[in-house]
Amino acid sequence: MSGRGNWQGGEGMSFDVMIVGIGGQGTILTSNILGKACVIEGIPVRGAETHGMAQRGGSVESQIRIGQQYGPLIPPGTADLLLSFDLMETVRAVHWLKENGQIFTSQEFVVPTSVFMQDYPAPDEHMLLEMLDSRKYKMIDCHQIAEEAGNLLTQNIVLLGAASPEIPLKRESIEKAIRETVPQKTVDINLKAFDMGIEAGKSD
């Protein structure tokens, strides 16, 4: 176990990441990996997440503040990075980002059941991308890459891999945190997914 206090960001400063998706997509697991990586590096960290009934297929968010020593909540309009497992949730969460904040988003999205029940027009990919406006985003085909890595459940790790060069944590620390977090027998597949995610993040 490491000590504390290697963070260079200064008092009250942190690198703030919003992780959003739909209940069950692995937002909490992803934020746990970042949290553990901070502990490995001896950096203070704060996180906030959605628990309870909201997880039943609803919009969920995990906030994680790397280097933060005070509260767990990110003020809207100040997040440095947005990770999203659903393109529609990306649009819903974009106001959390600071002006030049970076977005890494899954290409896929699930249309809420209420849209069908109430006969609303369902949004399509083109519409959603248009709503991102001038934001800098990188769209990753997490489904395809996770399938290639060998398990569809690694989509969150693929996206984390793609975004990881933007995150002020060492690659080794994140990889170590993945090993400590995911089920033992899925470690190799997750590390592969992480690797493939990094590669996918480099391409345009």
Partner 1 sequence: MVVHYLLGNEAIAHGCLEAAVDIVCGYPGTPSSEVIDTLRMDPDRAYKVEWSVNEKVAFEEALAASWCGLRAICTMKHVGLNVAADPLMVSAYTGAKGGFVILSADDPFAHSSQNEQDSRCYSLFARIPCLDPSTLQEAHDMVRDAFALSEEFSLPVLFRPTTRICHSKSDVDMGDVKKSDRAAFFDKDSRQYVVIPAHTRILHQKLNQKQPIIKKRLIELGYNRYEIKGKAAVICGGVGASYVREVIGPDVSLAVIGAYPVDEGWLAGFIQKHDKILVVEELSPVIEEIVRQVSGCVLVYGKKSGHVPYEGELSPERVAHYLTAAGIATSVRYEEPQKPAALPNRPPILCAGCMHRTAMYAMKKVFRDGIFPSDIGCYTLGIQLGTVDTTICMGASITIASGMSLAGDARDIVCTIGDSTFLHSGIQGLVNAVYNGANITVVILDNRITAMTGHQPNPTTGLTACGVSSPPVSLEAICRACGATFVETVSPSDLTTFLNVLKKAKATMGVKVVIARQPCVISEKRSKTNRGKYAVRQESCIGCKACIKFGCPAIELRGGLAAITDLCSGCGVCVQICPVGAIGREVKE
Residues near partner 1 (CB under 8 A): 1-4, 12, 22-23, 31-32, 35-36, 38-39, 42, 44-59, 64, 70-73, 75-78, 88-89, 91-92, 94-96, 111-117, 120, 122-123, 131
Least CB distance to partner 1 at residue 168 (A): 16
Quick one: 119 exposed, middle or buried, by C-beta within 10 A (0-12, 13-18, 19+)? exposed
Question: Which of 75, 165 has the CB closer to partner 1?
Answer: 75
CB atoms within 10 A of CB 107: 14
Rounded distance between C-alpha atoms, residue 82 and residue 59, angstroms: 15
Question: Which of 106, 201 has the CB closer to partner 1?
Answer: 106
CB 84 within 8 A of CB 106: yes
Least CB distance to partner 1 at residue 71 (A): 4
- Which residues on adjacent β-strands are paired with residue 67? none
Least CB distance to partner 1 at residue 128 (A): 9
Least CB distance to partner 1 at residue 97 (A): 9
Based on its alpha-carbon atoms, the radius of gyration of the chain, rounded to whole angstroms, reads 16
